[in-house]
Structure 1
């Protein structure tokens, strides 16, 4: 991540060097707040994202196309928290870079890999939701688990290759002080030479995903709320279909909105620092931007728990708070019906009914 440097202190056994200034020390309050805040966010996020992976991969009825993309997002967020959050804790607590030259390269690579894959995963499930809702008949053959797995594999492979450049853009450096040596993991060359890379990242993994999401969710909203073929008198299977689509679509829309909001400070800081002569290096501004990034990687499991009954029940069963079966099992057995009605001109309009005949529970399941 931008400005993600740490340092290692090595005391000299020889006498102090004349003409060198003492090593700058961070204020104690800055160290304490950074360590505590980052540790709480990272620990919460690591636990939550691990739970997402376990409940989806460990529960047969949870393996849907949408949830496959959420697993990819959870793994990417785990990488961000482990590769960006934890080194930041050691930097603040001990002012020491203990990972060496190879660690500098690998950690930087993993940071960008996790960041970029999470952005691509959000774009992928946005497109999947659009196809599932706006092209429901075609979605039966397009929105499948096997296709989702192939797309995820392609995303990880292409992003892994794209991020290889960071192995050649960072390096360790030493600064000698009167009372020690500071080794930093930072940029190989002048910061201005990184502008094309940063703006490419900004365009590909922030602006483009948000532009796609804005357009596609606008089309989804038109289908669900405006399109006249969805206006039927009384309670019908179409109304139930809209309710089912809304449950999962609202949750994913919130994920996208939080991605836009929480990444905005960091992305803005990178752009501003890339074009100004005096980049912002204020410790509290950097901490705020980093904390927003960590929160984005940690908050998604909380959103799933709050907005998805299936995830909530699965989390409870995983934690041993609720026995299997019962309401969760009933919801998971909901059949999916594909049907068609006609609009006012007599043209067929494809619809999806997701309804449990026995319980009346509307399921959030996508296309299997």
Structure 2
């Protein structure tokens, strides 16, 4: 059983990378999809919204199902559902079918996230920070590839470009379903609520920046859309250092420095971007990316180590982050039309709010 369990570690990390690729691979082909289905661009946001809704509603139930039936098996079911629904997207006869299949894909993604994280924690109980650091790194690496998936679509067409990762995801899901059945307590981690409330401002800031930095650079720095997208992808390069960040958490004695210092560092990066020379901006984007990587790895690790069912802690934090942090993207786009510096001031304030809130949580729970 131990050897089979150890084989799960790279399998989960690779699955996480494919999973994150399928979070982002529609973005570069969305204009072509809208043209083909004759959909007004005003409705383009419905596709990612359908996915997020599907992912949000299944996260907490997934943590319970994983505890009962095996976290690796529920994660496998999630990858299978995510993959099959994605592979079917190119066969959609209408825009409504695209929305439905993307929502189903979100359901699969929600089944995977917390349960796969719980598998890594079970496999590395003495190095939880390192395990979750690699988990976050895999997400960033897959997302980085997703930023450039438009080049794949240009070469083989958007339908094939979407179908291939879906088929790979389904195959990975089948492999995970053959796992050993890693189970935990079915309890729900209520203390994770305060971690989610403390972290959602910073999560929302990063989500807004990852989605809208390229647009801001195009509008206010006057660079091409392709170059703007490449510069904004520097945030995802930070994922290559995820394992190092996680190991740093495991080894550093004063973990408060990571939990509070990382969002403060990101806030400085945000507030500097509007006035920074173009050649400095990729460094600042990388800075807020790796700062968030360090912070969210620390939050996930701290919360999951205190929970009898780590999957429930991961699920609760992620659901709160998505439900509450998603809306800052709308504020970013509106503020951008009022004053070029305004959205970056907002993101800086959000990062500082998470730093302050996390400090309160640490002192309330008397940790570190």
Q: TM-score scaled to structure 2, two decimals?
A: 0.29
Larger radius of gyration: 1
More strand by share: 1
Which structure features the higher share of helix residues?
A: 2
